[in-house]
Structures are given as structure tokens and as C-alpha cells.
Chains A and B, each alone.
Chain A
Amino acid sequence: FSCSSSGVKPAVATGLVGTVQQQDIMKWNGWGYADSKFFFNKKGQGEFTGKRYRLSGLILPSLKDWFEGTFGANLQHKSPPSLNTSAVAPPSLNEAFVEELKSTGIPFSHDTEDRVFRAHGHCLHEIFSLRDGRVGRCPDMVVWPNCHNDVVKIVELACKHSVCLIPYGGGTSVSSALECPPEETRSIVSLDTSQMNRILWIDEKNLTAHVEAGIIGQDLERLLNESGYCTGHEPDSMEFSSLGGWVATRASGMKKNIYGNIEDLVVHIKMVTPRGVIEKSCQGPRMSTGPDIHHFILGSEGTLGVVTEVTLKIRPIPEYQKYGSVVFPNFQQGVACLREVAKQRCAPASIRLMDNEQFQFGHALKPQVSSIFTSFLDGLKKFYITKFKGFDPHHLCVATLLFEGDREKVLQHEKLVYDIAAKFGGLAAGEDNGQRGYMLTFVIAYLRDLGMEYYVIGESFETSVPWDRWVLDLCRNVKERIVRECKEKGVQFPPLSTCRVTQTYDAGACVYFYFAFNYRGLSDPVHVYEQVEHAAREEILANGGSLSHHHGVGKLRKEWMQETISSVGLGMLKSVKDYLDPNNIFGNRNLL
């Protein structure tokens, strides 16, 4: 393999796999693909556009009622975005750096659009400002290295000319990690890894694949599938997030119960730092060679260097996949069941538990039913669960399941899990509900954009927490804190504050919160939002939750790092940073 640099900005659809510029098919001020979005049609019915998702092109009759009922929002009250791209400050370029970069032939750009696109992640405040046409400090230019060696050259030049580098993968950060530090006086260069997107080799004997770190999740999976393999790593952002980003944030995939989280998947990492290239000399499956240097890289959030190549474990594509779902009379029973499943170590590839509010939300996204028969069947199911089984529709909650493997084993496994669920009052609620649950994961981010059109803002955040009663108590306390803080901060409508358990472990679980409110009547909604989220995080920490399970720290949660890992721990990380990058070339100021 040889790396070729053309010297021009990569064009759309050059024919090479994955070289399609994400930027050209994605929204610049919202989530995901430009062609996919929710909207209310003239009849006031919800619809989802595009062709990419199961929900695409369908009418969602209950969305409006849920939306208006939950947030007190009104379709008459629109808050359309005001576009104003001229607000971007002109780039401050480091001429010497640009000159030398030109001679390497690595493509770069200081086009405003390119710069703005890489100036943000998907935190609420970032998107909200963009919709308002407000843009803060932007990278002054963007470079597109094509391979590891390009990165080495760029880092060398950056060190030589004192330029600040910010690595950019898929841009799905929700921790303010991509925000350019406003106090940065040097020229900021966004290092976009999107062109480093090849699978370099697949080793079927050892079941490993060596991949360039810029590859986007769904491309990686698709390409491996073509050879009959998969990584099984499926974070909710996998449509857009990159392998390098996963490594840099310690990502977690939906199916980690079978495949493991990113730290379990990587066998070898190559990273370019200002001090030089760091990598191990072999690919042994486990080593006792002092503290694992991979763990300095995993979760370093772009503060130490650029991950360029990764060797990952791969698995043959599973023979059989089956979704499933279980209804529980209440959240408490549901959590108890998940705990038991974790205890018996028989968790399916994925098991998630939504609380009642999310269950209701899932219903709002049910498409129009095609026949009277299905609607009759739905009615019958509802009757059975609420009237016959006596479940209170305002308390019941749903677990969604995904099984994978040999057909026979899957069926056995399924029975085992349903038997456990039955002990906690759970009733099997069908494959369809399960599948819809997972589909929601991908479209929920689009829904925020819809909300913003109607004065509703919101976001999700996550934590991990030990089992015993912390899971329940933490969920209750955090939800209550959110409601209370909203009231105190003058939010005039009750907020949506809901949670779900998305991962189980031997010793605890990962909990995901969704929080949104109608901000009509507030002069600075984003500030209110941030205060509430801050309070919610304090509540999480006070209740024994972690600072983050997989979103990372970025700049958003930096203030709690010291209390989280102790000042000595922080000092250890700082000394690594000082050794690798004494001049703070990788100056995104995340984490530390």
C-alpha cells in the first residue's frame, strides 16, 4: 500500500469507498443526514423524510399529541433558525506552516464552510448557536491527511511552526471536545482523518483487522461484512463516528456483551504524538509489561496525538439475529430483572430498559398502521397487558433485547432470558417492539432538531453506576433534581426527564438520561439548560454515578475531573501530557 496525495481538497464521490465527504450529505447545523428529518406536515401529522431509516417516509400520527402533551409545545409557535454564515471571523493563518504544508502536497482548505463544519460537536449549546447563526472560534484551516505518514508530517510541521492541532473524526462529540478554546492565540488546524478510511489487512487466522483510524463505523462494518466479518462494535453514533474517535473517547457499543467495549476490541494502536510515534512491537493478546500504554491513548480525547491505525478483533458475522422485548409492571421490577440477568451472566448481545416516559415516547413514533387488523391486534395487546394483567400504563416499562449467534443457541438463550424476566413479572412483548426500540436510538437525535423548531431543547447524558439500589435511587433522584431545577430556573412547562438502562455489567449498569423542555418565555434557554444539566451531573456524582460511561469528558465535564480521579491521578495524566506534548500542540484542552 502506498499513500498518494493529490494536493487538492478531496472531491465528492471520487469513486473510492468512503471518500464521499460527510460534509456534503450531512446537515451543518443539526444531526445527521441532510435528507433525513422530522417535520409536521400540513395536517399536523409527524413525518420522517428520506429513505435511510425504517421510519423514513412514514406518517407518525401520534407524534403531535405526544409532543404537545409532553412539552406543552404548540405547532403554532415556531422558532425557525436564522442563518447567518457571514459571522465567521476570517482565518488567522500561520504562513510558514501553510507554505511548508503546500510542499508536502497534503490537501487543506480555509474555506469558511469547511471550518465551521469542524468547529463543533453536537452539544445542545453548539447546535443552538449554529441555528442562531452564531459561530465562536473556528479552526483556521482544515487538513486532510491521507495516511499515517501524512499525519507524521503534519505533526512535525505543527511542532516546528507552533500551530495548534485539533484532530477531527466523525464530529459526533457531545462533550464540547471539538470546541476551539477561545483563548488559543496560535493558528488552529483541524486535522480531519476522514480520508484515512481503508482496511489495510484482514488476518483470518488471528481474527484481526488492521484499519486506518479515520474510517466511519458503518463503513467499517459494511466493508468487513463483505468479507464475512464484523467487529460488532455498534455505538449509537456508528453512522457517523470514526474508529479513531472511539479509541480517543473509550467508546462503548450496543452489543458489548458479546464483543466488548472498544478497550476490549483493540489489539494494537498506532498514534502520532509531538514526541514521536507510539506503538507496541507485537500483537500478543495480553501482555504484562507494566501499565498498558494503550490505556494512556484510550480516552485521551485528542490531547496527546492522532490515532492513525488500529488493529481490531473481528468475528464472523453471526448466523442469526433476533430482537425481542419484555414489558414489566414498573421500572423497579425491570431493573431487578436486568440485575439478575447480569448476575447469571446471560445477557443477550444487547439488553436495555426504558422507563415509562420513554415507553410512551416510543409509542408516539409508531407509524400509521396499514390495516384494520393490525390496529385491532394492537388494541387487543394493550387490553391484555393493562386490563388483564393489571399493568398500569403510567408505570409499566419495556426492556428491548437483541440476541445474536447460532440459531439454536439464540433460541435457547432467548428462553433463558424470558424465564428470568417472568420471575420479575415481565411479559414477552414481541420482536417488533424490540426492533423499534433500537431504531429509535438512531432517530432520536433527529428529533431534537424538530424540537428546536418549536421552542423545545434537550439533550442526553449518561453515567455508570453500581447495582444495589443506586440504579433506582440515582434514576429517581436525578429525574427529580431535573424537574426541580427547571422549576427554580423559571421553565414554565414541566420538562421531559426520562432514563433508560442501556448496558449491564457484573458490578453495575450504564444509565442514559434524556432531558428536554419547552423554553418559551426564557430569555437565555441555553444557559438554563446548562445550569440544569450541571445540577443533574452533580446529583449523579453525589449518588455514586460516574462522570461518564462513554461520552467522555471533553471540556463540558472537565471541572469534575479532579474529584473524580483525585488530584494525584490528575497529576499522573498531566505528566504524561507534559512528556508527550510539552508545547500543547494538541491544544483542544479537553480532559485535563
Chain B
Amino acid sequence: KDPVLKKRDDFEDILEERRNSSDLRYAFKCYTPVLYRGLTPCKAATLKSMVLQSEQLLHVINQVSAESGESTDVVKDEAAAILEEMAHRLQLRTIRFFAYTLSKAFKALYRSVCVNEEGIQRLQQAMQEHPVVLLPSHRSYMDFLMMSYILYTYDLSLPVIAAGMDFLGMKFVGEMLRMSGAFFIRRSFGGDQLYWAVFSEYVKTMLRKGYAPIEFFLEGTRSRTCKSLTPKLGLLNIVMEPFFKGEVFDVNLVPVSMSYERVLEESLYARELLGVPKPKESTSGLLKARKILSEDYGSMHVYFSPPVSVRSLAQGRINRSQFNLTPRHVAQKPSEETQAFVNDVAYRIVRLQQENMVVKPWVLVATLLLQSVEGMELTELMEQTSWLRDLARMFGAFLDWPGTRPLNSKVVLGGPVIRRLPVHIPIRQVEGPQGPETPEEALFNRAVSVLSCASYRNQVLHVFLRPALLAMALSNANSSRKEDIYSCFDFLRNVFSDEFILSPGASVQDFDEACHLLVKCGAVELLHQDVVMAESGRTVLSFLTLLLEPFLQGYQVVCRYLREEATENLTEKQFIPAVRSFAVKLHLSGSLKCYEVLSSDLQKNALNALIRLNVVRRDGLMSNQVAIVSSIHGMLIHSAFSLEN
């Protein structure tokens, strides 16, 4: 299939009406959402008692009590306390309060908030028919506020949202969020059987009842890089189970792509990636942050993809009768088949989120600038941006471009684009206000700029990723034979699958897609069993190779560190600062030009990849040690990387 042919809906700016009519009236408007047809409405408190009396939970309570020797009443109280801490208390009052205040805030922050109304209509339809799970991308704290705000605006059922416990640390605000539909889960509760039971039963009860759409972030946390994160499967597993067990006819998953012109946390993110700890969520911090209200965060696009039916996805993949032999209240460990299925669905949803992300012009500008650290002439930049726009469009990018004409100098200079380009462009070193700085400081500041800029480029990576991997494979494979190129492609894809969220099973598909796109843009030709570069393909291919270059270099540095400096007893905790100082050292000595290796995100991904590829081994759960396996395998990888250099 050709991704370009994908038809996308039109957008509607929801702030426009807010600018023309009373926010107060809006907050007090008559709110009567259509409900799931099977729903008998119930209060948040009723929901809690349903969970506590559920067979599922009672079963686990009895088990825990038998194992621990505590009386069931004690365990029950424990469960009730967990639920109390977790459960939301959605009430319309609070929603109306938020509707009012957020209207004010959004109007101050954003020029427009664009929503695809057809998506909303599809969602409304789906909500009546089946339980709905909303799966937005996660780039900012704004995400879930914006989601609820939009659903309120369109008179749709408000979601209940899985949120991290960290918010509860914020006095008052945490409880406000709770009353607007957030429920709170601990970041990790690995072995806690009771916690898991309460949590999963709570979510499943809401889903089975069709109480409200359930919203959570597949990526688990905000992506600091504007790249998607590896999806977490726990909650996805939970929301699919009622379908597997026949408790509901179907579950609809609705991917939502939230694209920001500029993310609120932008400058924080770059610093976080460079090792400055993330500020703890606190109410005072929030109040201090109100200065952001005076800044311009451009426009925002929210795209609701068509609902994905779990039933149709599971068709032929999941044999539901496997659940027939155990009573439904007894939790079963998901079979391998089920796990693989859930995993595939997760990757698919992430891909759908990416596909409908809106790409702004300066995302392309940033992409080009990052490829020429020395800077380039403005006219050349404009020309190249135009060229890149056409290429991106051909590859199926969802572009939001001012006008239909090519970018002209007027737009770039006088128009909104360059002035609103919200990062410091690393064309020239920006002098700090306090005069001369130490080389370390200079490096840090420059890295902040580069990483900020990279977070823009990252927004378009998914468009070029597969062809770029192929381009890289083309220049590194031993021959032009298709099998050789494929095996090189497959290797690279494997190495970078944590970095770019590539589904483990889809290598062949991705390869075909990459070939298709590169043939289409005339960069390569397919001759019998060979894949060869076309005459005119040099520009495209070198652009694509350069696009992934920083990642390649980053991974090489990580490998070098592991080989040259790492000790036997390296713990995971020490790993990141150690790699960082190793890279800083290389930088200061002038032998390394790449800044992205300083990003803790890249370092983590590289480590995960090396562990996955059996180059590095995690020793024991307790010590969290990373032992280096100096196997031939490791050498192979290393040499492969060197080859490419």
C-alpha cells in the first residue's frame, strides 16, 4: 500500500469559538454526552465497591491471605486502601472549573488547537457501540488536559486517565486531577500481586461496564525527545482481556496523535537528557511555571485516528477458546501467542500515532540545519527545505504547510516561520549572557541547542526512517544483491529497534516499504535480484544516510566506552554518567563532533539494544550489573559499525 494515498481528515480550530464567545457560558454549557449503549450509569463510589466485591479480587485476596498468613479482612483492608489511593473521583464540577481555566490558558498559549472533527464523529459512534480505549501520544503534561478538554468541548464522555503517582505529590493539584478523571498508579509494582489485582480489576470493571473511555499512554511516560518510546504492554494487556474472555463483544482502540508546534517542557527536556534532574512535580513549581503563559507555543494539532477493533485484529491470531478451561476470575498468565499479539498491537498503535502526527515546516528546517553544523546560506536553506518538503510528502508525511506554493524567501524571512522557529539555531554559537564560559559549559549549552533542535528533527524521523535504514544498508552491504542488502538492513533495523520503535516481526515488510519509497522517488532501481543506486539518487541517499548518522555515531561511542573503559562491575546506574563523561572527554579532545551521544535517551537505547543482541549481559536482578561479553558477536557488531564509518 502507498502511504501517500492515505486520506486524512480536515482540521477545525476549537479555540476560534472560545475567542468569540464567553468561557463562562462554555464552562456551564449543557453537557450530555452519548453513552455506551450497554451502560447503566453508576457513581465512582459504586464502582469501587464493585471492584472490591469482584470475584477476581476476592480470589487474589484469599490467595494472598493464605500465603502471608494474614486474615482476609486485613488483606481486604489493604486492597481497599490501594483502591482508595488509586481511584478517580470524576465529577462534573471540577471539569467545568477546568473547562474555564484551561480555556483561558490555552488561548494564552496557543494560536490554535486543531482537531479533526470527522475523527470525533467516528469516536462518538464507537463510544456508543463498544468500550473505547484512547491512546494518545505523550509529549507533554498538556496531553491529558487537552484530551479531556477536547472531549468536553465535543460533548463526548470524559475519559478516565491512568496517571503516574508522582502527581499525587502535588498538593491540591493531584486531587483536582483525580476529580477530573485521573486515576493514579505506581510507576512500578512488579511483584505486588494484590496491587496488580486491584489495579487490573479496577480498569477492567470500568471497561466492561463501559463506564467511561479509558485513556492511557502506551509510551508510559512523556517522550523527552519527541520520538516515540517503546510501548509498555501492561495496561494494553488489561484492556484487551475482557474481549479475550468474552466479557465484551469488542474493544475499540483509538490512537490519538497530538502534535505540538512547540512543547511546553522543551527546554527542560534537553537539560534532562543531559543529566539535569527532572524537577519534582509540585504545586509551587506549577505556579512558578505560569510565566510560560506569556510565551507563544504556536498551534497544536490533535488527530483522532479511526477506531481499531481488537476483535478484528485478533481474528485468526488469538484462539479465544484457550480461556474456556479456567474460571474467568482466575488470572492466567498470558500465553506466548497472546503476548506476541499484544506486542504487535502496541507497535501498530504507535505507528498509527506517528503517521497522523502533523509535521511543521521548521521540523524540516531543523532537520537540514542539523546536517550542516557549519551553517548554510539562507537561500540554499530555502531551496533545500522545498526539496525536502516534496520528498517528505512523497514519503507520506502529514505536512502542515503555509499555503500551497513553495516556500519563498518572504515566508522564511518576514513570515512567521523563521521568527517563530522556537529554538536557537546552532548556526552560530550563541554567547551566554554572563560572558566567557568554561569549555564544559560551552559544550553543555551547545548540546542543549543541538538536542532541542534534534527534538524537532525527531518529529519527522518516522517518515524517513525505513528508507534511511535502506540507504545505510545500500552503502554498507557487501554487494548489491537483494539478500545482502536485506541482511544489512535487517541488522541495522535490529540495532536501532529501541531507538525508532520498530516492531520485531516486521522486518520484511519494512524492507519492502523502504524499497517501494526509494524506487518511487527515483533514488534506487530494482534490477532482477539487485538493488542499485540510481543516477539521480545521490542527493536523497546522502540526505537519508546523514539523517541517521548521529545515532550511528552515538552507538559507536557507547560501544567504544564499553570496550575501552567499562569495568566488570559496572551497574546500570553508573552507566549513563560514565558514558556521558566519556563522551564529554572525547568532545573536549576534539575527536568527537556529535552531540547526540550526550543524550541519556540514546545511551539507554543503545544499552538496551546491546543487551537484546547479547553483546552485553545483565547479571542477576539484584545487582543490576552489566557484564561485558567480549564475544565474537560483540566484535562483529563493532566491526560493522566501524565499516560504516
Report which A residues bind B (CB closer than 8 A). 468-470, 473-474, 476-477, 480-481, 541-544, 563
Contacts and interface: CB of A to CB of B under 8 A. Distances in A.
Interface in B208-249: 246-247, 249
B327 A544 contact: no
B321 A542 contact: yes
B321 A477 contact: no
Nearest to B327: A468
A474 B246 contact: yes
Given A468-B327, A468-B328, A542 B247 contact: no
Interface in B274-326: 319-321, 323-324
Contacts of B328: 468-469
Given A468-B328, A543-B246, 18 more contacts: A469-B247, A469-B328, A470-B246, A473-B246, A474-B246, A477-B246, A477-B249, A481-B249, A541-B321, A542-B246, A542-B319, A542-B320, A542-B321, A543-B320, A544-B321, A544-B323, A544-B324, A563-B321
A189 B459 CA distance: 74
A541 B319 CA distance: 10
A476 B321 contact: no
A203 B323 CA distance: 48
Interface in B323-369: 323-324, 327-328
9 contacts: A468-B328, A469-B247, A476-B249, A477-B246, A542-B319, A542-B320, A542-B321, A543-B246, A544-B323
Nearest to A474: B246
A415 to B, nearest CB: 31
A468 B55 CA distance: 11
Contacts of A473: 246-247
Contacts of A470: 246
A541 B327 CA distance: 16
Contacts of A476: 249
Interface in B242-260: 246-247, 249
B326 to A, nearest CB: 10
Contacts of B249: 476-477, 480-481
Nearest to B315: A538
Interface residues of B, number: 10
A469 B54 CA distance: 13
A470 B320 CA distance: 13
A468 B247 CA distance: 11
Contacts of B247: 469, 473
A543 B324 CA distance: 7
Contacts of B324: 544
A50 B56 CA distance: 56
Nearest to B322: A542
A543 B246 CA distance: 6
Contacts of A563: 321
Interface of B: 246-247, 249, 319-321, 323-324, 327-328
A468 B328 CA distance: 9
Contacts of A477: 246, 249
Residue with the highest number of chain A CB atoms closer than 10 Å, among B246, B247, B327? B246
Contacts of A468: 327-328
B325 to A, nearest CB: 9
A2 B452 CA distance: 103
B424 to A, nearest CB: 55
Nearest to A470: B246
B335 to A, nearest CB: 15
Contacts of B246: 470, 473-474, 477, 542-544
A542 B247 CA distance: 11
A480 B319 CA distance: 19
B142 to A, nearest CB: 38
A544 B244 CA distance: 11
Nearest to A546: B324
Closest 9 CB pairs of A and B: A542-B320, A543-B246, A544-B324, A480-B249, A473-B246, A477-B249, A541-B321, A542-B321, A473-B247
A316 to B, nearest CB: 41
A468 to B, nearest CB: 7
A563 B319 CA distance: 11
Contacts of A543: 246, 320
A20 to B, nearest CB: 46
Contacts of B320: 542-543
A473 B321 CA distance: 14
A541 B318 CA distance: 13
A542 B322 CA distance: 8
A541 B323 CA distance: 11
Contacts of B323: 544
A513 to B, nearest CB: 15
Nearest to A477: B249
A251 to B, nearest CB: 25
A544 to B, nearest CB: 4
A487 B324 CA distance: 28
A480 B321 CA distance: 18
A522 to B, nearest CB: 23
B307 to A, nearest CB: 14
A474 B328 CA distance: 13
A544 B320 CA distance: 9
Contacts of A541: 321
Contacts of B327: 468
A2 to B, nearest CB: 53
A486 to B, nearest CB: 15
A542 B311 CA distance: 12
A480 B243 CA distance: 14
B576 to A, nearest CB: 47
A477 B244 CA distance: 12
Contacts of B321: 541-542, 544, 563
A3 to B, nearest CB: 49
Nearest to B55: A468
A477 B319 CA distance: 16
A468 B327 CA distance: 8
A481 B249 CA distance: 8
A488 to B, nearest CB: 11
A477 B247 CA distance: 8
B36 to A, nearest CB: 13
Contacts of A469: 247, 328
A563 B322 CA distance: 11
Nearest to B325: A544
A565 to B, nearest CB: 13
A538 to B, nearest CB: 9
B79 to A, nearest CB: 22
Nearest to A544: B324
B570 to A, nearest CB: 49
A437 B246 CA distance: 30
A567 B82 CA distance: 46
Residue with the highest number of chain A CB atoms closer than 10 Å, among B319, B321, B323? B321
Contacts of A474: 246
Contacts of B319: 542
A544 B322 CA distance: 9
A473 B246 CA distance: 6
Contacts of A480: 249
A582 to B, nearest CB: 34
A477 B249 CA distance: 5
Nearest to A476: B249
A464 B246 CA distance: 16
A480 B324 CA distance: 20
A559 to B, nearest CB: 14
Nearest to B250: A480
B471 to A, nearest CB: 42
A224 to B, nearest CB: 40
Residue with the highest number of chain B CB atoms closer than 10 Å, among A468, A473, A474, A563? A473
A473 B247 CA distance: 6
B640 to A, nearest CB: 46
A465 B323 CA distance: 13
B198 to A, nearest CB: 21
A363 to B, nearest CB: 24
Contacts of A542: 246, 319-321
A504 B462 CA distance: 57
A476 B246 CA distance: 10
